[in-house]
Amino acid sequence: MKIKVCGMRSPENIDALMRLQPDYMGLIFYAKSPRHVGDLQMTDLQNMPDNLIKTGVFVNEDIAVIISLIERFALGAVQLHGNESPALCVQLRSKVTVLKAFGVDENFNFDTLNDYAGSVDYFLFDTKTVTHGGSGQTFNWQVLENYKLNVPFFLSGGLSLENLENIKHIKHPAFYGVDLNSRFEIQPGLKDTDKLSEAFKILRD
């Protein structure tokens, strides 16, 4: 089970997170997000372990801007939450790992993913909202049974200490990892590392 912690922006908070050894760390470059990286600089990220994948989160951003930030922050992956096309995903995939996020509800049509199957490395299934993630709400995980592709996926949306044990019962063969965010926060962009430590123990037990 891979663990991604998203919405980091405080250097001290990031240092504390590193002691838990997450697999992925999300930096949000979407200006409208309350978890936007703000004034975070590459110099704040100098002590990252080599096996940590820094992941830039974008929503309908211009590809030139994305590439510039990939280079500036030495990103290993991008997570795309907007209407990004398969062609754009292919362009970025030549540089980094690509996660394409989709908001899921009871009526989600998983056939819409078919065009992306050869264009991305992972899907990320989040709760469908108007805010492009970070809602703290879950969706009905049973709908994941309708997902038939082989592209591995991350599960996001309202994951918390109260429901992580239930996640361990998801047996979908493509289930790859989890994305922890708003339910582990003291305030937007500041994680409660004590809660995260408990979560890591549950998921890695």
Domain boundaries, the chain: 2-204
- What pTM did the predictor assign? 0.94
Mark 25-52 as b/e (b = at least 16 C-beta within 10 Å).
bbbbbbeebebbbeebeeebbeebeeeb
How far apart are alpha carbons 92 and 147 in whole angstroms?
24
State the pLDDT at residue 133.
Answer: 54
In this structure, which topology does domain 2-204 adopt according to CATH? TIM Barrel (3.20.20)
State the pLDDT at residue 136.
Answer: 65
Cα diameter, the chain: 44
| Mean pLDDT, residues 60-79 | 98
Structure confidence by residue, pLDDT tens digits, 143-195: 999 999 999 999 999 999 999 999 989 999 999 999 999 999 999 999 999 99
Q: Are 75 and 98 in contact (CB under 8 A)?
A: no
Structure confidence by residue, pLDDT tens digits, 60-69: 999 999 999 9
How far apart are alpha carbons 77 and 92 in whole angstroms?
9
